[in-house]
């Protein structure tokens, strides 16, 4: 009914924690959610562990776990297979997220396995309150659209900074990595077209992929280029030659990356940040 536009109401989450602190969600199975599965919003000190989250791959917007405008969140040891991003960090949508001004920060994600037609791990695209200080490590994604997808858009404002993604294994994934500034729509026409997001200090390292179709895309915003993007020890292989990286409006560095990185990441200017962040 939702796909046909005939659903007369909005779709609920299976579990939404709001304005909560010191919460533990563990040792449960969540299945066939109508919308996002687990949504901690305006929360702090949240531990999510040992979950199985399942939904058909053609089920729309069935994100696995979406920490939203929340701080000090740990997500670990989960197996997720859904119809949308497995884990997506968010912080508010356009002018509403800017007005609220509550970032997502201090988030640790580790030992996650799963499959999705979209992304295994993502940030965005709703990032208007800001996302910072995130560590995601020991991730294993298969039969997915993207391994790592960091996404925002003009009109979002906010920031994405100090993000580290490490020790990722990919199999049968279309894009190994995508960092893009043209993703996601707007809730209404009242958003500020001049509210440009800042994307800075992202480190992606120790990524191994097989059966990959395209290495990835890093596309900043012309008037707000993405800066200090560091790629290190990334090896992406395919049964056919992996399509090369595509980059625009981005600066940074790349160390030991296959296929060869785009020229925007081979200058010496970004090398000091990259070597210091490893």
User: Would you name the residues annotated as active-site residues?
Assistant: 84
> How many CB atoms neighbour CB 50 within 10 A?
12
The two three-digit tokens of residue 265, written as one number:
């990441």
Query: Would you give the distance in Å from CA 211 to the centre of its chain?
Result: 21
How far is Cα 106 from Cα 136, in angstroms, rounded to an integer? 11
Q: Is 266 exposed, middle or buried (0-12, 13-18, 19+ CB in 10 A)?
A: middle
Residue showing tokens 């962040």: 277
Residue showing tokens 């917007």: 61
How far is Cα 4 from Cα 213, in angstroms, rounded to an integer? 31
Q: In angstroms, what CA-CA distances link 119 with 145, 157, 186?
A: 6, 22, 20
How far is Cα 29 from Cα 51, in angstroms, rounded to an integer? 6
Residue showing tokens 């991730």: 139
In this structure, are residues 213 and 242 in contact, taking their beta carbons and an 8 Å threshold?
A: yes
């Amino acid at each position: 009914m939702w796909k046909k536009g005939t659903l007369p109401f909005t779709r609920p989450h299976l579990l939404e924690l709001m304005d909560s602190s010191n919460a533990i969600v563990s040792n449960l199975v969540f299945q066939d959610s109508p919308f996002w599965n687990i949504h901690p919003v305006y929360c702090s000190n949240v531990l999510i562990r040992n979950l199985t989250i399942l939904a058909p791959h053609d089920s729309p917007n069935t994100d696995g776990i979406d920490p939203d405008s929340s701080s000090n969140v740990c997500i670990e040891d989960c197996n997720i297979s859904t119809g949308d991003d497995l884990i997506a960090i968010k912080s508010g949508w356009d002018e509403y997220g800017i007005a609220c001004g509550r970032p997502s920060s201090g988030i640790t994600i580790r030992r996650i396995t799963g499959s999705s037609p979209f992304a295994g791990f993502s940030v965005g695209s709703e990032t208007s309150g800001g996302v910072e200080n995130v560590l995601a490590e020991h991730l294993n994604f298969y039969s997915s659209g993207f391994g790592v997808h960091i996404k925002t858009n003009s009109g979002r404002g906010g920031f994405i900074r100090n993000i580290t993604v490490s020790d990722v294994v990919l199999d049968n994934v279309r894009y190994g990595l995508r960092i893009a500034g043209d993703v996601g729509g707007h809730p209404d026409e009242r958003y500020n077209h001049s509210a440009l997001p800042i994307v800075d200090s992202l480190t992606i390292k120790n990524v191994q992929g097989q059966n990959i179709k395209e290495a990835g895309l890093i596309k900043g915003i012309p008037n707000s280029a993405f800066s200090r993007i560091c790629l290190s020890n990334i090896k992406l292989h395919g049964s056919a030659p992996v399509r090369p990286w595509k980059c625009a409006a981005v600066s940074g560095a790349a160390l030991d990356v296959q296929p060869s990185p785009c020229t925007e990441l081979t200058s010496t200017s970004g090398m000091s940040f990259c070597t210091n962040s490893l």
